[in-house]
Amino acid sequence: MDGTFKDNDISHIVEADRAHVWHHLSQHKPYETTDPRIFVEGKGMRIWDQKGKEHIDAVAGGVWTVNVGYGRESIADVVREQLVKLNFFGGSAGSIPGAIFSEMLISKMPGMSRVYYCSSGSEANEKAFKMVRQIAVKRFGGKKHKILYRDRDYHGSTIACMGAGGQYERNAHYGPFPDGFVSVPHCLEYRKHEQAGAPDENYGVWAANEIEKVILREGPETIGALCLEPVTAGGGVITPPDGYWERIREICDQYEILLHIDEVVCGVGRTGTWFGYQHFGIKPDMVSMAKGVASGYAAISCLVTTETVFDMFKDDASDPLNYFRDISTFGGCTAGPAAAIENMKIIERENLLENTIAMGDYMLDQLNALSDKHAVIGQARGKGLFLGAELVEDRASKTPMSEKMVGAVVADCMQQGVIIGATNRSVPGKNNTLCFSPALIATKDDIDQIIGAVDGALGRVFG
Ligand SMILES: Cc1ncc(COP(=O)(O)O)c(C=O)c1O
C-alpha cells in the first residue's frame, strides 16, 4: 500500500479500514459481515463510494460541513500555495492568511472584533468557557462562573462541552462532568404541550422568560454566560420562536451575562445569512464557528469576541496572569484561514447566500407538500438550507416516531443514492427528526431529487 487509491486495490482499502479504523458514532459489529462504507471522490453535490455508486449528498458531508460543495479546485490551489510558502507557526505569532481572514470575517459581523483560531467546534466552545471563567475570576471574585446551556442543544464532544450539552442520551456514560454548567428549557414550540405553563400566544417570550427563572433561581451573580445555538441542529433542527432572541438579549443585558452563540453549524451561510443570529437583529458577545468556515477543506474553527470581551484580557499588563493563557497548536495551521478566505470568496462570487434563501424556501415548501401526503410528518421546519422534518406516530398526540423507523427512512434514501440525516442517540425518546443540509449550491433539480427519494422512502417505510 502506498496510500494512493487505484481501482484494483480497493479490497485492500476496505480490509485496512475494517481492521484498523475506528469510525465515529458507529457500532462496529455489523462490519464483521458487511463492508464499511468508504467514500472516494466528490464533485459539487455528489459523492461516490468504493463501489462507484453515486450519491447526492443532502447533508453536506454527513455533518453540515461542505457548504460550497465537493471538488473545489480553487480552494485546493490556495491551500497548496500557502502550505509550500509557510504551513505552520504557533498562534502566538500571526500569519498572512490568519490576518486577512480575520478582517474578512469581522467585516461580516458588525459589532464583533477579535478572532481566536483553533481547530474544532468543541475546541472553540471550550475557549469561550475558559474566557468566561477567567473573566469571573478577574471581575467577580470567581463567583460569576456558571454557564447556562439549553436542553436539546449540543456544543461538542469534549467532557466540558458535554457538561454544557443538553442531549442527555449523547452524554450518557461519559460523566461525571465539570461543575458550573446549568440547563435551561428548550424553545421547541411544536412540543410546548410537554412544557408546563406554556402559553398559546407569545411562546417565544415565554420560553426566554423560562431562562430568566433559572437565572433568578441560581442567582444572577453566579451566572457568567448563556450558550445557545441560533437554530438547534442535532437536537431536532429547532428554529427559535418569534420574540425569543430579542428577549434573550434583554435578559443577558439585565443580568450582565455574556451571550455566547454557537454557530458551529449555522455559521458562514448555512441559514442564508452569514450567521444564524443575524436573522434576529441581536448582538452576541462571543460567537463560535467551525464546520462551514472552510467547508471541510481544512480544519479550522474560530471563537470571535467583541472588543469589550477582548479588552478584559489586556487591561492590566503588570499582572502576569492577566491575559488569555491558552493555546491551540493546530490553530496555527495556515491551511485553515487560507481555505476559509477562498471559501468566503466563493460564497460571495456565486451569490450562495441568496441561493440558500431561495432554495431553502423551495425545499421547505416541498417538505410541507410532502407532509400533506404523509401523515407521519408532524412538522417541517428550518431556516435557509438547514431543514428538518419531525416524524410522529400520529399528529394529534405528537408521539415521536421511534428512532428505528426514522433510521429506516434514512437507510431507504441511502439505498436510492440520496444521503439524508436524522437525529440519533441524542435526546431520549425524541430522535425523530429527518435532517437536511445540502450544500449551498443546491439547485431545484437537486432538491427535487432529494424530496423524491424521501417521498418514496416514507411510502415504503410507513405505507
Ligand atoms: C452546534 C454544534 N456545536 C459544536 C459542535 C462540535 O464541533 P466539532 O465536532 O468540530 O468539535 C457541533 C458538532 O456537530 C455542533 O453541531
Ligand 1 atom with the shortest distance to the CA of 232 = 1
pLDDT over threshold 90, residue 67: yes
Ligand 1 atom with the shortest distance to the CA of 63 = 14
Between β-strands 386-391 and 433-436, what pairing exists: parallel, antiparallel or unpaired?
A: antiparallel
- Tens of pLDDT, residue by residue over 200-225, are 999 999 999 999 999 999 999 999 99
- Tens of pLDDT, residue by residue over 251-282, are 999 999 999 999 999 999 999 999 999 999 99
**Cα(289) to centroid(ligand 1), Å:** 9
Ligand 1 atom with the shortest distance to the CA of 158 = 11
Give the separation between CA 348 and CA 344, rounded to whole angstroms.
6
**Cα(156) to centroid(ligand 1), Å:** 5
pLDDT over threshold 60, residue 135: yes
Q: Which residues line ligand 1 (CB under 6 A)?
A: 63, 120-122, 125, 154-157, 229, 233-234, 262, 264-265, 290
The hierarchical CATH code for the domain 37-66+351-462 is: 3.90.1150.10
Could you give the percent of the chain with pLDDT greater than 70? Answer: 98
pLDDT over threshold 80, residue 8: no
By most ligand atoms within 8 Å of CB, the mutation choice from 122, 158, 287 for ligand 1 is 122
**Cα(325) to centroid(ligand 1), Å:** 23
The domain limits of the chain are 37-66+351-462, 74-349
Does the pTM exceed 0.75? yes
Per-residue confidence at 7, pLDDT binned at 50, 70, 90?
A: low
Please tell me the residue having the least CA distance from ligand 1 atom 8.
121
Per-residue confidence at 1, pLDDT binned at 50, 70, 90?
A: very low
Peptide bond into 400 cis (omega under 30): no
By most ligand atoms within 8 Å of CB, the mutation choice from 64, 152, 155 for ligand 1 is 155
Give the separation between CA 388 and CA 421, rounded to whole angstroms.
9
Least reliable range by pLDDT among 26-30, 248-252, 314-318, 435-439: 314-318
Ligand 1 atom with the shortest distance to the CA of 263 = 1
Count CA atoms closer than 13 A to 248's CA, side-chain side: 33
Give the separation between CA 295 and CA 259, rounded to whole angstroms.
26
Ligand 1 atom with the shortest distance to the CA of 234 = 16
Cα angle value 294/298/303 (rounded, 5°) = 60
Q: Output the pLDDT for position 416.
A: 98
Could you give the percent of the chain with pLDDT greater than 90? Answer: 97
* Per-residue 3-state assignment (H helix, E strand, C coil) for the chain: CCCCCCHHHHHHHHHHHHHHCCCCCCCCHHHHCCCCCCEEEEEECEEEECCCCEEEECCHHHHHCCCCCECCHHHHHHHHHHHHHCCECCCCCCCHHHHHHHHHHHHCCCCCCEEEEECCHHHHHHHHHHHHHHHHHHHHCCCCCEEEEECCCCCCCCHHHHHCCCCHHHHCCCCCCCCCEEEECCCCHHHHHHCCCCCCCCHHHHHHHHHHHHHHHHCHHHEEEEEECCCECCCCCECCCCCHHHHHHHHHHHCCCEEEEECCCCCCCCCCCCCHHHHCCCCCCEEEECHHHCCCCCCCEEEEECHHHHHCCCCCCCCCCCCCCCCCHHHHECHHHHHHHHHHHHHHHCCHHHHHHHHHHHHHHHHHHHHHHCCCEEEEEEECCEEEEEEECCCCCCCECCHHHHHHHHHHHHHCCEECEECCCCCCCCCCEEEECCCCCCCHHHHHHHHHHHHHHHHHHHC
Mean pLDDT over 359-378 rounds to: 98
Cell digits of residue 291: 464546520
pLDDT over threshold 60, residue 58: yes
Please tell me the residue having the least CA distance from ligand 1 atom 5.
156
**Cα(332) to centroid(ligand 1), Å:** 20
Please tell me the residue having the least CA distance from ligand 1 atom 4.
155
pLDDT over threshold 90, residue 344: yes
Q: Output the pLDDT for position 6.
A: 58
**Cα(121) to centroid(ligand 1), Å:** 5
Ligand 1 atom with the shortest distance to the CA of 125 = 4
Ligand 1 atom with the shortest distance to the CA of 266 = 1
In this structure, the number of other CB atoms found within 10 A of the CB of residue 396 comes to: 7
The strands making up 301-305's β-sheet, listed across from edge to edge, are: 114-118, 301-305, 286-289, 258-262, 223-228, 146-150, 181-184
**Cα(343) to centroid(ligand 1), Å:** 19
By most ligand atoms within 8 Å of CB, the mutation choice from 120, 291, 303, 425 for ligand 1 is 291
Q: Output the pLDDT for position 59.
A: 98
Mean pLDDT over 298-325 rounds to: 95
**Cα(112) to centroid(ligand 1), Å:** 21
- Tens of pLDDT, residue by residue over 178-205, are 999 999 999 999 999 999 999 999 999 9
By most ligand atoms within 8 Å of CB, the mutation choice from 265, 301, 424, 426 for ligand 1 is 265
Q: Output the pLDDT for position 5.
A: 57
* Averaged pLDDT score across all residues of the chain: 97
- Whether residue 249 contacts residue 282, with contact meaning beta carbons closer than 8 Å, is answered with yes
Please tell me the residue having the least CA distance from ligand 1 atom 7.
121
**Cα(288) to centroid(ligand 1), Å:** 10
In this structure, the number of other CB atoms found within 10 A of the CB of residue 162 comes to: 22
Per-residue confidence at 3, pLDDT binned at 50, 70, 90?
A: very low
Task: Write the CB contacts of 98 (distance below 8 Å, at least 6 apart in sequence).
Answer: 91, 115, 117, 334, 337
Domain 74-349 has CATH 3.40.640.10: yes
pLDDT over threshold 90, residue 156: yes
Give the separation between CA 259 and CA 404, rounded to whole angstroms.
37
- Tens of pLDDT, residue by residue over 380-415, are 999 999 999 999 999 999 999 999 999 999 999 999
Give the separation between CA 255 and CA 248, rounded to whole angstroms.
11
Give the separation between CA 105 and CA 122, rounded to whole angstroms.
20
Give the separation between CA 101 and CA 113, rounded to whole angstroms.
12
Ligand 1 atom with the shortest distance to the CA of 122 = 11
**Cα(127) to centroid(ligand 1), Å:** 14
Cα angle value 109/231/353 (rounded, 5°) = 50
pLDDT over threshold 50, residue 78: yes
